[in-house]
Structure 1
Amino acid sequence: INPLLHRLSLQSFLNRQDVVFFEWVGENLVLASQLPHRAKIIARLHSWELFHHAKRVNWQAVDRLVLVSQAKQRQFNERFPGNEEKIMALPAGKSLDHFSPKPHSFSGKIAMLGHIIDVKRVYEMVLTLAELHKRGFIFTLHLGGEPKEGYNNQRYYASVLSLVEKLGLRKHVFFDGYVDSAQWLPEMDIFISNSYWEGQQNALIEAMAAGCYSLSHVWDGAEEILPEENLFTTETSLVEKILSYAALSEGEKEERQNQMRAIAIEKYGLQDFIDRYHALIESVIR
């Protein structure tokens, strides 16, 4: 894109609007915040932008900033103090109508969904699977997603493949590639979020809505999604929580699955968030 034409086009667009919502704190918001304009600007910050584009934004030109969690709100305030009055924590609602539990007997399928990259800590989950096998519990690990381009990402993926081979787990770790999550997740028993950093992890919310018993490492914000008893810190605590769930009766497992779905629907159902965003937009144009 020609930078000058892009600048003129964006400024013209801003001057024809009353309110402009920027879904990401990216290059367009950086530029818009530096241009004279009449529009009110609302932006949403998800996660990675906090350490990337956010430092280049003129926050005085932004009227409202939405953070996807209270954790992200705290982190933003720490890095960019003085904007407290214009920011709010408001998760992104999701349409969960296509995600529903599928009755099936427990078979020890553990799922992770997302790019196979270091932040997801798939490598460590393979080690956890090996520990479960060492204790005599033969679970399987199902990975929905592909590696990303880039030297470090490809190196990480190669390391995961190598570890699976070295531990003799090739028949127990399934690289399913890109999947239809609404069809794939209900086939799983347990969903693990093993990340060390997330914004609002949609895969976790979808898994809960699909009836997967869900566990998460204590990345900042996970406590806003799951109950405390579903959070873990170390591999040992994760193994204990997996085995504790596996030991439940089928009826008790179903109760836990229904609890997961109820939490997802209550916290992230779409209609409530549509109403809240309407109220947000109206508040900036009054």
Structure 2
Amino acid sequence: MIYLSRKKSNFLLVSNIRSYEIFFDESMSSIAWDKVDGLIFVADHVRQIANEKWQNRLSTIPQTTIYNCVELDKYRFDKKSPGKNIGYVGYLNAKKGIELLLQCINEAVKIDPAYCFHIAGEFQGERFEHYTRHLVLEMDLERNIVYHGWVKDIPAFLNDMNYIISTSPWEGCPNNIIEAMACGVKPLIHNWPGASDIFPENLIFSTIDEFISILKSSDYDSSMYRDYVSENFNAEKQLPEIERFILSLLEKNDNADQSKSFGSSLNLKGWQEKAGSRYSGSNEKQDEEESVNYLQPLPPKVEIVDNRKAYTVDFCRGKKVLHIGCVDSGMMQKRIAENNYLHHQLAGAAERLIGIDIDSRGIKLLKEEGYDVETVDIETDKEKLAVLTKNVDIIVIPEVIEHLSNPGQFLDNLYSARFDSDILISTPNSFSYRVAQYLSQGVELVHPDHNCYFSLVTLKTLLNKHGFDIRRHLLYYWPSDNNFGRKYEQILDRSPYLAEGIIVIAHRK
């Protein structure tokens, strides 16, 4: 949005504000709001707070509220009844009320030990994972919680649930609740600001006692939950609302072509083509030159982890994993002795692990140690890469891409393998604060075998060009208990983009 608002353009610019954006002061302050034609909020409470907080910037922009929506035909409806399976869909972090979630689980199990909570999501931040696993042990809840990890097929997951719980202290218009209700699942919703304006009050709890009361209640009506979604969050109704709002903006700017019908479906290209004078008389060469913008927006949502290897191991836990770059050249024996060797750590966590590397000596050593490994040149051996990527859940490429002479060729080889796995790529951050500290001393902190640097933007660009989308951005650093380490953590609090390195979770388009 920052980039688009500062780019010279004849296009209508409309922003969809979901929730969290209004609290990112740096991003909100960087947008050229006078170039924004309209705002679509997902909930009235988000709209109210945004206008209170940013009144001088948003008050003159046309606005509307349109709830999030689902395509109902993609959510199988089954008539359900009270039961023992309670689902949770989302990240596990402070923003999702993990502390309250654990207390709710504890109270439910006190009433009936048969209750089982199914977690579809991943931890964000090691502190929350350590806290959660610690408290689960202290409360003796290990048998009542099932961690499913990141779930791609949410409707299938919801099919086995009797309830869905949301303990967030803040939400906009949460899709996890909407999708569950579409499947006929009863929601148990914590009373965040605006919850009672969006969902029925008899499904909302402020205290743990109220949570237990709703859970135990015999008032369970799957058809009502489905009908509520159909009435309030139905794509067949919401998308035309978006279209009507955009048409009103075009009319306001005297650009709508009144002689033509815009149809009933959402079609941004159609709006652009029908915007008439707004696009007439442009100089194509000039427009092309103006479209180059050297201020590329950084991802607004990044997670910070303080241990790259621990995060990678946990991400692969219980999965079938292909580890690309499994040899730690020149340091493998030392790191094995220190239990700091990533491939060894992955072997202890993954259901199945295959390792590949171009270093034949290192591969020979690993084979002698009993590891399932092969020598592969990932830049040239496309056929072998295609075979090895079959039947794996995750492909891990840690601190490898910066060593390659032709990373684009490697990504092309990987893309042609036609797999459906997530890929985890980590690489040093070109804008690391630690690296910058050495430049004034006339030296560069870099491994002698590295061929290139990546930033969040250039890594995304490279992956996009070769057929991959990024679905999560993370940044990592190594904490240290010295003056520099403490100073570094303070700097990262203000600007996380100066972290040591980058982790992305990507998927083949």
The normalised TM-score by structure 2 is: 0.46
Q: Runs ≥4 in structure 1, deviation > 6 angstroms?
A: none
> Is 2:200 the partner of 1:224?
no
> Is 2:39 the partner of 1:65?
yes
2:49 corresponding residue in structure 1:
75
SS at match of 1:91: coil
Taking a change above 3 Å as real, the CA distance of residues 282 and 54 of structure 1, as seen in their structure-2 partners, is: same
Taking a change above 3 Å as real, the CA distance of residues 275 and 154 of structure 1, as seen in their structure-2 partners, is: same
Distance 1:228 1:102 in 2: 23
Matches within 5 A, 1:96-175: 96-103=72-79, 106-136=82-112, 138-148=114-124, 153-175=125-147
SS at match of 1:97: helix
Taking a change above 3 Å as real, the CA distance of residues 275 and 79 of structure 1, as seen in their structure-2 partners, is: same
Distance 1:215 1:104 in 2: 15
1:242 corresponding residue in structure 2:
215
> What is the CA-CA distance between 1:212 and the residue it aligns to?
0.7
Distance 2:242 2:213 in 1: 40
Distance 1:236 1:55 in 2: 42
> What is the CA-CA distance between 1:137 and the residue it aligns to?
5.4
2:23 corresponding residue in structure 1:
51
> What is the CA-CA distance between 1:205 and the residue it aligns to?
0.2
> Is 2:161 the partner of 1:188?
yes
Q: Which has the higher contact order (CA 8 A, sep 6+)?
A: 1
Asked whether the equivalents of residues 123 and 163 of structure 1 are also in contact (C-alpha less than 8 Å), the reply is: no
> What is the CA-CA distance between 1:156 and the residue it aligns to?
0.3
Asked whether the equivalents of residues 102 and 187 of structure 1 are also in contact (C-alpha less than 8 Å), the reply is: no
> What is the CA-CA distance between 1:104 and the residue it aligns to?
5.7
> Is 2:239 the partner of 1:274?
yes
> What is the CA-CA distance between 1:103 and the residue it aligns to?
4.7
Distance 2:236 2:79 in 1: 27
Asked whether the equivalents of residues 80 and 184 of structure 2 are also in contact (C-alpha less than 8 Å), the reply is: no
Q: Which has the larger radius of gyration?
A: 2
SS at match of 1:72: helix
**Structure with greater helix share of residues:** 1
> What is the CA-CA distance between 1:135 and the residue it aligns to?
3.4
Distance 2:210 2:81 in 1: 25
Q: Percent identity?
A: 24
Q: How many residues align?
A: 246
SS at match of 1:187: coil
Asked whether the equivalents of residues 109 and 144 of structure 2 are also in contact (C-alpha less than 8 Å), the reply is: no
> What is the CA-CA distance between 1:220 and the residue it aligns to?
2.1
- Of 100-109 and 183-192, deviating more is 100-109
Taking a change above 3 Å as real, the CA distance of residues 105 and 214 of structure 1, as seen in their structure-2 partners, is: closer
5+ long unaligned stretches in structure 2:
252-509
Matches within 5 A, 1:19-58: 29-52=1-24, 53-58=27-32
Distance 2:81 2:55 in 1: 51
Asked whether the equivalents of residues 132 and 138 of structure 1 are also in contact (C-alpha less than 8 Å), the reply is: no
Amino acid at match of 1:139: Y
1:264 corresponding residue in structure 2:
229
> What is the CA-CA distance between 1:224 and the residue it aligns to?
3.1
Asked whether the equivalents of residues 68 and 175 of structure 2 are also in contact (C-alpha less than 8 Å), the reply is: no
Amino acid at match of 2:144: H
2:250 corresponding residue in structure 1:
285
> What is the CA-CA distance between 1:79 and the residue it aligns to?
0.8
> What is the CA-CA distance between 1:72 and the residue it aligns to?
0.7
> What is the CA-CA distance between 1:109 and the residue it aligns to?
1.0
2:150 corresponding residue in structure 1:
178
Distance 1:261 1:182 in 2: 13
Give a deviation string over 1:158-189, Cα, whole Å, max 9, x none. Answer: 21111111111111111111221110112111
The two structures, once aligned, show a CA RMSD in angstroms of 1.8
SS at match of 2:72: coil
- Of 30-39 and 260-269, deviating more is 30-39
Distance 2:67 2:111 in 1: 39
Asked whether the equivalents of residues 80 and 222 of structure 2 are also in contact (C-alpha less than 8 Å), the reply is: no
5+ long unaligned stretches in structure 1:
1-28
1:199 corresponding residue in structure 2:
172
Taking a change above 3 Å as real, the CA distance of residues 215 and 32 of structure 1, as seen in their structure-2 partners, is: same
SS at match of 2:169: coil
Asked whether the equivalents of residues 112 and 143 of structure 1 are also in contact (C-alpha less than 8 Å), the reply is: yes
- Of 53-62 and 162-171, deviating more is 53-62
Asked whether the equivalents of residues 158 and 185 of structure 2 are also in contact (C-alpha less than 8 Å), the reply is: yes
Distance 2:33 2:81 in 1: 52
1:6 corresponding residue in structure 2:
none
